[in-house]
Chains A and B, each alone.
Chain A
Amino acid sequence: MTTEEPLLEVRGAAVSYRTRAGTVTAVDGVDLTVRRGEIVALVGESGCGKSSLGRAVLRLEPLAGGEVRFAGVDLGTLSGTPLRQARRRLQMVFQDPQSSLDPRRTVGQIVERPLKVHRAGTPAQRRAKVAETLDLVGLGSRFLDRYPAALSGGQRQRVGIARALVLDPELLVCDEPVSALDVSIQAQILQLLLDLRERLGLALLFVAHDLAVVRHLADRVAVMYLGRIVERGAVDEMFALPRHPYTQALLSAAPVPDVAVERARSVPLAAGDLPDPLAPPSGCAFRTRCPHARPVCAEVTPALVHDVACHRQDELPPFVSPIIHSGG
């Protein structure tokens, strides 16, 4: 990881939706990079704009500002065939394995679809590639003629991964690929993604709402709150020493296996729900739930300084992570 050009470079990305009630800025000036073969996790609670950012990376959602560069090319300047060609190289695994598979296509047809769209290979070659990819994700060819309705959640998510892999992409955007699954299946899918990175040198932008999930998966983590990145860094550092009050809150909210630690755990740092994205708080968006908020937080929006967006990052009391104490 030297001066090599990042595979994905997101700069100042913004996504907004116009609704009847007003404009929601779901993503508000996000910077993010993913290098080749790297796994970067994007973490934040529901509604903070993770999926919006993920979709914007694939240009499935128009950018309201900023740019997305893939392998040095600004995707925003592409359209038509070049854009479709670029899409071969970055693919997405969707949040809901149930609704992201076409109910009217069989597993075989679903996985073959990207190849057909790109007119890749002969029918026989395509069939071979589909079988190979299904093997890769741990589904045999006996699933070829099944419809999604006849699959379990974990199987569906494997189909979703196979569809994303069949074009041999360099970057996979995984939008909470495991949050809809049972815990036991979650581990299997995570292991599968790690294996794939190992075998294919795949880079991953991995979206999650739960820090614990990404701990053993990601190289780096970016924490998002209401459309902005509040903290980012290497995964081990962040777990050892979360510096933003929101990251700290997320860590103390993470499920703790040890009962004793569960009891001793500090009171929840963040009370209440995510503020209304239609009318976000002034200044630091997190101040309404932050136990350390000061008047200045309501006035000035904190920028990322040393990878943390907090006015008081140098004054906060030291954080004791329950997970560290439990021994991982």
Chain B
Amino acid sequence: MTRPVESAPGLRLLRPVSPAQWVGLSIIAAWVLLAVLAPLVSADPLAQQTADRLQAPSFAHPFGTDQLGRDVLSRVLHGGRATLPIGVSIVLLATLVGVPLGALAGFVRGWLDEAVMRVADLLLALPALVLALAIAAALGPSVSSAVIAIAAVMWPRYARLARGQVLTLRQREFVLADRATGASPAQVLWQTVLPNAAPVVTLVAVLDLGTATLAGATLSFLGLGVQPPTPEWGAMVSTAVQTPEAWWASLFPGFALVSFVVAVNLYGQVFDRKGLGR
């Protein structure tokens, strides 16, 4: 993030360039596809078969069954329908709050900048997940409180990023040139400065999908996010902890989560190396 990335259509930045990135992107795409198609390709994730409780993986139940006799494979496939959108919502909410705040702070400076950045510093000075846990607990356990809680600890990251971008960009001559045309400060910020900060912010947001998904699943694991019986990877692991002998009930959803996060990080590795993003 030494300087805003040059070149016009900025999302070119997101194009995969290495084989590892393609692998990562394919896994992400596969999970998204499976989540979308889950109702078509898999059994009812809520159907309980008390006779079939805690069955080891078999032909009928490739991932086995859980303590209520539900098919773990169906639940893993359906779980993506909860886990993945939660991760995306977290990042969306965090950027929607953080980017305008940070951009405005960097653009107008003064007391607003001071105020926003001190709040951001405070939030960043606490272990993020712990604070998110407290906020989610205060809001009461539900999907939306998990999303809000994690976004509440993540937005400072985007505020800082956007502020840094704006601080650099506002020195650039084309921003001065835009002011010289007679554009109002608001027009300069939203129409000229922010579009130029967008590629880097988008890149960081995409790379954060892994972290956000993980955090969402962790809150669900802690019982503060998705509530049973809705299938969600973190929540599934949590329920299955009580039956450690049935390793399949916890490890398959766990591996699903890990594979998704690995995929996002695999895709993001190249940017890491270029010094972008993190």
Please give the residue numbers on chain A whose beta carbons come within 8 Å of chain B beta carbons, in ascending order. 55, 58, 60, 83-85, 87-88, 91-92, 94-96, 99-104, 106, 113-114, 117-118, 147-149, 160, 163, 167
Contact = CB atoms under 8 A, between A and B. Distances in A.
A69 to B, nearest CB: 18
B174 A101 contact: yes
A288 B124 CA distance: 52
A113 B178 contact: yes
B173 A60 contact: no
Nearest to A93: B177
8 closest A-B pairs by beta carbon, nearest first, are A147-B8, A87-B182, A114-B181, A84-B182, A100-B173, A99-B173, A102-B174, A117-B183
B125 interface: no
A102 B196 contact: yes
Contact of A149 (B7, B174, B180, B182): B7
B168 to A, nearest CB: 12
B176 A55 contact: yes
A92 B9 CA distance: 27
Given A84-B183, A94-B177, A149-B6, 9 more contacts: A60-B180, A92-B180, A94-B173, A94-B176, A99-B173, A113-B181, A114-B181, A117-B183, A147-B7
Given A87-B181, A94-B177, A104 B187 contact: no
Contact of A104 (B10, B173, B179, B183): B10
Contacts of A85: 182
Contacts of A83: 182
Given A103-B196, A104-B195, A117 B181 contact: yes
Nearest to A100: B173
B242 interface: no
Contacts of B118: none
Nearest to A118: B182
Given A103-B7, A104-B195, A104-B196, A117 B177 contact: no
B192 interface: yes
A274 to B, nearest CB: 22
23 contacts: A55-B176, A58-B180, A60-B176, A83-B182, A87-B180, A88-B182, A94-B177, A99-B173, A99-B174, A100-B174, A100-B176, A101-B174, A101-B177, A102-B177, A102-B178, A102-B196, A106-B8, A117-B181, A117-B184, A147-B7, A147-B8, A147-B9, A149-B7
Contact of B177 (A92, A103, A167): A92
Given A87-B182, A102-B192, A118-B182, A163 B8 contact: no
Contacts, number: 71
Contacts of B173: 94-96, 99-100
Interface string B162-195: 0000000000111011111111100100001001
A96 B176 CA distance: 12
A30 to B, nearest CB: 20
A90 B29 CA distance: 53
A101 B180 CA distance: 12
A280 to B, nearest CB: 24
Contacts of B177: 92, 94, 100-102, 160, 163
A26 B166 CA distance: 25
A108 to B, nearest CB: 13
Contacts of B180: 58, 60, 87, 91-92
Contacts of B10: 104
A82 to B, nearest CB: 11
Contacts of A102: 174, 177-178, 192, 196
A176 B117 CA distance: 38
Contacts of B174: 99-103
A148 B7 CA distance: 9
A281 to B, nearest CB: 29
Contacts of A114: 181-182
Contacts of B187: 117
Interface in B112-130: none
Contacts of B183: 84, 113, 117
A99 B172 contact: yes
Contacts of A117: 181-184, 187
B277 to A, nearest CB: 20
B8 A103 contact: yes
